[in-house]
Each structure stands twice: as C-alpha cells, then as structure tokens.
Amino acid sequence: MSRTYEPAARVSAEALSTFMRQALARCEVDGATCEAVADALVTASRMGTDSHGLRLLPHYVNAVQGGRIRPQADMRFTRRLAGTGYLDAGDGFGHRAGYVAIDHAIALADEVGIGAVAVGRSSHFGAAGCYALAAARRGYVGLATCTADALVSLHHGQGPFHGTNPIAFAAPVPDQPPYLLDMATSAIPWNRVQQYAAIGRELPPNVVVDAAGRLTTDASRAASLLPLGGADFGFKGAGLAGMAEVLSATLTGMVHGFRLLPMSGDDMSTPRGVGHFFLVMRPDAFVEREIFDRGMLDYLEDLRTQPALEGEEVLAPGDREWRCQAHRDKEGIPLDPANVAAYAELAERLSIPALI
C-alpha cells in the first residue's frame, strides 16, 4: 500500500531558480546555459516531475565539475536541407542544446513550414516535455525525443537494453495551456525509482524487476525497468523506445543506449555523447490556423466531457501537470528530506546562500 509523505520544506519557483543559477555559475557555467538548465529543471518541478527537476541539480554539478559536461560549450548549428539541421552540442548541457535546437527548428518552420533538428554530442536534458512545450508556447506543434543509457529490458529480455527514451509532444490551444504529452517509453522513469528509493516508498507493481529478473515493488532492489506495457504488453513500449533510438541516436550519429556511458557511475569525466531529435511544425503550413485552433478546442472539449468511471475524471494530456503547477505556484515546490540534505550540502560546498 502506498503512503502519503509530507514534504520536509517548500520553496518558491523563483527561489529554486535563483539557487540553481548560482550553483551552476560557481561551476563556471555560462549565463545562457545557467538560465536554460534552471528553466528546464524548475519547469519540470512546477509540473510535478521532480525526478527530472530539482532532484537532478547535484548530479549536474558533479558532472560539470568532473569534466563530463563542458561549462561553456561551443555549440555549432549546420543547416542541411530546407527544413533540416544538425546541432553539435559540444559536450555541453543538454538543456541549452534543447532550447537552441528548438529555436533553430522554429526558424526553419517559419521559412518552409516544418523544421527538424538532430542534436549530437549532448548530455542529459531533463524532461523532454520542456522542449516540445517551448514550441507550443510560441504557437507551433512540437515533438522531442532523446536517447538514454540502458535501463529498460526488452520485452521478454533478461537484462536492460534500451534507455527510458522519452517522447514528448505538445500543441498550442487557444486561451488554454498547451496539450502536452511527456512520457518515458519505460513503464516508469528510472529517476522515479531512485526518488522512491531515497524516501523508502514502495513502487507500483509490474514496472521493475530485480537482478534475477523477478518482479518487485522494492525500489532499492530494482535492477531494470520494464518497457511500457509491463510484462504482458511490453512489446509496445519496446517498439516506441526503438523509434526514439533511431531518431535520437542513429539519425544523430551517436551510439545507441546499450553502448552509451551510464548517467550514474564513478566516471564523471568522460562526455557521454547523448543524442536528441526535435521536430517543429507550423499549423498553418497544413490547414488554415483558425481551422486548427477550432479543431483543438473541439477535440479537447469532447475528450474532457466524456463519461468517466465512478469517482474518476477524464483528463487530457497535460491537465494533471497544469493543475500541479497552479498548486505549486501557490503553495511552493516541495522538497523531501533527501532533497533538503543534498541542497544544503551543495550550498556549503559551493559557498552560496542556502536554499532553506
């Protein structure tokens, strides 16, 4: 049975962003990158995805101090065809690479209706939804995928092969927050397992296996994630992970997840060479803008008004995140005891003002 945990502390998004930027600046990270990393992490935590938000800052500090991530990377964009381009991220922060790639994809889409940018020599970029959302907030349809190191078993496989390989899709909606789908192709994200292990919380069933390949709900014993669909229908998640692998690794010239240096581990000096893929589309390149806008409104109204099971509610992708964001903007972003301790240690180590 799951238990409810009270946060050890709550902080505002502004205070959290300030702390993140100060911490990264002490690691000689350039200003634009500090802003990009803080924006992506705070965006994720405001929407309730702390596993890809505030929890990652200590890891990034270790990675940049160790030399794995370059604090002032030279990112170079090359236009390949009318609607395509390649961004060499220079072994810098994936968050900065993601936002830069979206900017280039939007510029391409403005010119020819569609823009696709492959990114190589990058690093972990947090929540994929941040980048699809960045396009949708500017009126475009956005898609983002990323490769990751092997943490997810193949369907009926004995050990991990794919990464969590996220897929994010966002579309603008008139006078409403964007439609936002942000999902791992695993049953749950690996960072969620680590988060639950840190606070001793039990995992839901049928999402992870132990070192012997047996199903477990003990986060501390998890050795591999199951693909989306679990033990019975994991071929679906494994197929989606493969699609993300082709777009984010093969199409970018990077190694696929099985050969990728693990995100966690003792080696914090070797760049990982992560790949991303971003697609941006102008709605009016396909249909009149008012028709697209009306279609989105009609679709979401029809979806949200469908009969729900007793005691349940039908939600569109993103609805839960927007509700969480509104609540956290009002009440503050919660930190569990492990987060509080990690941030206190960062403040002391980097000689910056404490967050709490």
Each residue's pLDDT tens digit, 281-305: 999 999 999 999 999 999 999 999 9
Looking at the structure, do residues 141 and 13 belong to the same domain, yes or no? yes
Burial of 162 (0-12, 13-18, 19+ CB in 10 A): buried
* Tens of pLDDT, residues 336-348: 998 999 999 999 9
* Tens of pLDDT, residues 311-338: 999 999 999 999 999 999 999 999 999 8
pLDDT band at 5; cut points 50, 70, 90: low
Helix (H, G, I), strand (E, B) or coil at 327: helix
Mean pLDDT for the chain? Answer: 96
Looking at the structure, do residues 25 and 134 belong to the same domain, yes or no? yes
* Tens of pLDDT, residues 68-83: 999 999 999 999 999 9
* Residue 1, pLDDT above cutoff 50: no
Q: Are 135 and 101 in contact (CB under 8 A)?
A: no
Q: Taking residues 200-207, report their average pLDDT.
A: 93
pLDDT band at 265; cut points 50, 70, 90: confident
Looking at the structure, do residues 193 and 244 belong to the same domain, yes or no? yes
Ramachandran area for residue 206 (φ above 0: left; ψ -120 to 50: alpha; else beta): left
* Residue 22, pLDDT above cutoff 50: yes
Looking at the structure, do residues 78 and 191 belong to the same domain, yes or no? yes
pLDDT band at 190; cut points 50, 70, 90: confident
CATH code of the domain containing 59: 3.30.1370.60
Of 3-7, 39-43, 223-227, 273-277, least confident by mean pLDDT is: 3-7
Side-by-side strand order, sheet with 274-281: 76-81, 84-88, 114-122, 274-281, 141-146, 167-173, 176-183
- Tell me, what's the pLDDT at 158? 83
Looking at the structure, do residues 183 and 250 belong to the same domain, yes or no? yes
Looking at the structure, do residues 139 and 228 belong to the same domain, yes or no? yes
Looking at the structure, do residues 307 and 236 belong to the same domain, yes or no? no
The answer to the question of residue 227 being in a domain is yes
- Tell me, what's the pLDDT at 42? 98
Ramachandran area for residue 302 (φ above 0: left; ψ -120 to 50: alpha; else beta): alpha
* Residue 51, pLDDT above cutoff 90: no
Expressed as residue numbers, the domain containing 309 is 291-320
- Tell me, what's the pLDDT at 3? 47
Q: What is the CA radius of gyration of the chain?
A: 20
User: CA 131, CA 335: separation in Å to the nearest integer?
Assistant: 24
Looking at the structure, do residues 220 and 295 belong to the same domain, yes or no? no
Looking at the structure, do residues 66 and 47 belong to the same domain, yes or no? yes
How many CA atoms, within 13 angstroms, populate the side-chain half-sphere of residue 49?
25
The answer to the question of residue 1 being in a domain is no
- Tell me, what's the pLDDT at 2? 40
Looking at the structure, do residues 308 and 202 belong to the same domain, yes or no? no
Looking at the structure, do residues 340 and 211 belong to the same domain, yes or no? yes
* Tens of pLDDT, residues 217-252: 999 999 999 999 998 899 999 999 999 999 999 999
- Tell me, what's the pLDDT at 138? 98
Number of domains composing the chain: 2
